[in-house]
Amino acid sequence: MPSTSVDAVRRSWGPWVLMTTLGLTLLRILYAGHVELAPQEAYYWQYARHLDLSYLDHPPLCAWWIALSVRLLGDSETALRLPAILSSAALTGVLYSLGARLYSPAVGALTALAANATVLFGLGAVVITPDVPLALCWAAALRVLCELVLPDGRGPGRFGWRWFLLGLLCGLALLSKYTAALLPLQVLATALVTARGREALRTPYPYAACALALAVFSPVLLWNASHGWASFAFQTTARARTVDGFHGYLVGRYVGLQAVAVGPLLYVALWVTAGVLVRQAWKGDARARLLCLASVPGLLVFTLVSPWHWVKMNWVAPAYLGLLVAAAAGACALGRSRAVRGYAALSIGVGAVLMTGMYLMPLCPWIPFRERDNLVSGWRELAEAVQHHREATGTPAPMVVGWGYKTASELAFYLPDHPETQSDSALGGAGLAYGFWMDRTRPGVDALVVADARQPLRDAASRLREHCESVRELPPVTVHRGLHPVTTFQLWSCQHWHALRQVAIRTPPTASGVGR
């Protein structure tokens, strides 16, 4: 196709992607303020209130973004989620650019559309988690890598600036989530299996890029060095201790969650695409090698781990980025087939229906949903009940202890004065990052202890007796989505809370139950 025709096609798809992205961004900003925070979002907001170089269970970039947003715009759901919304818009642009660079503008547009029509990336656009900056940096790194290793790439540029940009993106990805450890390995593998990549490895630029990535990641290293390498232990040995053998039901849960994450039909298509990419990469296709190494290893790692450890929905997200581009390319290449066009349209449509249903579920109580899994309804209702007890106690207001980081974080956000809440570590348990914030509490104060029936305080009598001079059980609080009960919280009034000397607050807890 002549260059003028290519430019015309690009111009026809580019404005469409831009306008759609702007429209989705505005809708997501309006939506963000009408839905209560998910527990993970409230927890990362707590990160932002305790700014640090890093944290026990995650690197700090997500917290830094939240801190910047809420300091500029105030503590609100919209402000807290704005970095996710803007990052999703940027990710849409990068995916379009990646697909257009590797194949055609139509492939780029279809990739962007497919990603936004999934629960994983579409709903994830209004939920701020470490996966948000991770996905953006991962996709952007792939886009830069195209120019460095493909036969028709633009090369490193003057002074090797594209290698430095790649190093920066890898460092920011590592600063987002530890899953990004796969990214530099995949970049190295791609360089080794491409002629231009092997040629580049004989220059100093890739090694300087590694040094830059390490420098960007250094806050995590410094934090760990001063905290007994707690985060690395949490992500390795602590998680390994939770493995207790092969469990077939975990495979079913993994497949089911991933089918919901991207839509069941698209999930099948992505696996088929993975096989096609492996075959094309084996035959020497440079584009296939780049996308295959960016996606298939991660997909295989999490699939192989799934019988032994609970793999959460969002963990696999980076592996889908390259597969989405390749799947879109396959659909466009076979676009003359009515069956392929129908399957592609149905795949995107089913994913969009699932994603839209998840968007509307908190706002429309008539949408059926298993309320036990509903984590974005009832927190304001709970906070109102807890605040009533705080006011009845008089001054000073009692310390609020939520059993589980979810309850503790949601109450910190939704109680009117945003108090310094505590979690399991205040009662001798493993409180994740809360164990590093215990210096903000004062022994001798009264406390209100709150436990969710979904994560019950099973040994409440003995545990509270150890930490309180006297305990009084308060009436339980049941919260709702519309008229549907979501869960019930148990409340206790604890007089004169104190920590036990033998409780090692800063000991890294196990990773059981944690999978953000």
Q: What is the pLDDT of residues 49-77, one digit of tens each?
A: 999 999 999 999 999 999 999 999 999 99
**Which spans in 76-181 are helix H?**
77-102, 105-116, 119-122, 131-149, 161-174
For residue 478, pLDDT over 50 is answered with yes
- Say if residue 396 is preceded by a cis peptide, omega within 30 of 0: yes
Distance from chain centroid for Cα 420: 25
Please state which of the ranges 30-39, 55-64, 219-228, 242-251 shows the lowest mean pLDDT. 242-251
Confidence of residue 512 (pLDDT cuts 50, 70, 90): very low
Contacts of 288 (CB under 8 A, 6+ apart): 277, 280, 281, 326
Confidence of residue 108 (pLDDT cuts 50, 70, 90): very high
Q: What is the mean pLDDT of the chain?
A: 91
Q: What is the pLDDT of residues 88-98, one digit of tens each?
A: 999 999 999 99
Q: What is the pLDDT of residues 296-331, one digit of tens each?
A: 999 999 999 999 988 888 999 999 999 999 999 999
Q: pLDDT at position 440, please? A: 66
Residue 315 vs residues 25, 228, 312, 319, 477: alpha-carbon distances, Å: 24, 26, 6, 9, 33
Q: What is the pLDDT of residues 2-21, one digit of tens each?
A: 444 444 445 578 889 999 99
Tokens of 53: 């170089």
Q: Which residue has the higher pLDDT, 515 or 207?
A: 207
For residue 129, pLDDT over 80 is answered with yes
Q: What is the pLDDT of residues 148-191, one digit of tens each?
A: 999 999 999 899 999 999 999 999 999 999 999 999 999 999 99
Q: pLDDT at position 479, please? A: 96
The mean pLDDT value for 124-135 works out to 95
